[in-house]
Amino acid sequence: MVRVDGLRHAFGSRQVLAIDRWQVDRGEAWLVRGASGSGKSTLLHVLAGLLRPSAGRVEIDGQDIGALSDRQRDALRGAAIGIVFQNLHLVPSLTLRQNLSLAPLMAGLPSASAAIEQRLARLGLGRRGDDRPAQLSRGEMQRVALARALINRPKLLLADEPTASLDDVNTDLVATMLIEQAAEVGAALVVATHDARIAPHFAKALTLS
């Protein structure tokens, strides 16, 4: 699903990411760990096609994203990649239902009303589709952000620091939910974190230095 060869990325003269070889197969769940500034978020941005790597080759679902045009990378991201942001970034002016609808709309995919209702119900938010993000707790927002990332049934799910500012119980819940939900849609999962508490949930880990 993900194949990385000789990846390097730099901001100006400062190199922030170096991975010689790394591969994530379909359905695998990986933890990417490292201290702050080790390039975890940069790696997720490169995998999402939001950053073009300075050097090396990154293949997502068999496509070399460095060789894709901007439009092709946008299309790949919309159709095949789901992202859960560290700050969740739900759109405050939209209801939960509309936040979930945003994913197919922006990816240019058919609307997925039935899937949205189903996913809201699965996450225990079936009656709250018309609420806005400001009416939710942090844990509820986390579930909506995950639902939005999964609504297009991506092949690759990326999560950036998903357990930041959560207590131990919720950290376990979120890690379990990420792995279960990714497995349910058949997506490979890559979670970037410096939170050692979720390490036991993952059999595979990449450590950045």
Q: Which residues of the chain form contacts with other proteins (CB under 8 A)?
A: 41, 45, 48, 50-51, 70-71, 74-75, 77-79, 83, 85, 87, 89, 91-95, 98, 101-103, 105-108, 111, 148
Q: Which of 130, 128, 152 is nearest to 140 (CA)?
A: 128
For the CB of residue 106, give the shortest distance to other proteins in the complex, in Å. Answer: 4
Q: Of the two residues 43 and 166, which places its CB atom closer to other proteins in the complex?
A: 43
- The Cα 92–Cα 109 span in angstroms is 23
For the CB of residue 125, give the shortest distance to other proteins in the complex, in Å. Answer: 17
For the CB of residue 209, give the shortest distance to other proteins in the complex, in Å. Answer: 20
Q: Of the two residues 54 and 95, which places its CB atom closer to other proteins in the complex?
A: 95
Q: Of the two residues 86 and 170, which places its CB atom closer to other proteins in the complex?
A: 86
Q: Of the two residues 75 and 179, which places its CB atom closer to other proteins in the complex?
A: 75
Q: Of the two residues 4 and 83, which places its CB atom closer to other proteins in the complex?
A: 83
For the CB of residue 172, give the shortest distance to other proteins in the complex, in Å. Answer: 26
For the CB of residue 93, give the shortest distance to other proteins in the complex, in Å. Answer: 4
For the CB of residue 91, give the shortest distance to other proteins in the complex, in Å. Answer: 5
Q: Of the two residues 157 and 202, which places its CB atom closer to other proteins in the complex?
A: 157
Per DSSP bridges, beta strands 63-64 and 55-60 are: antiparallel
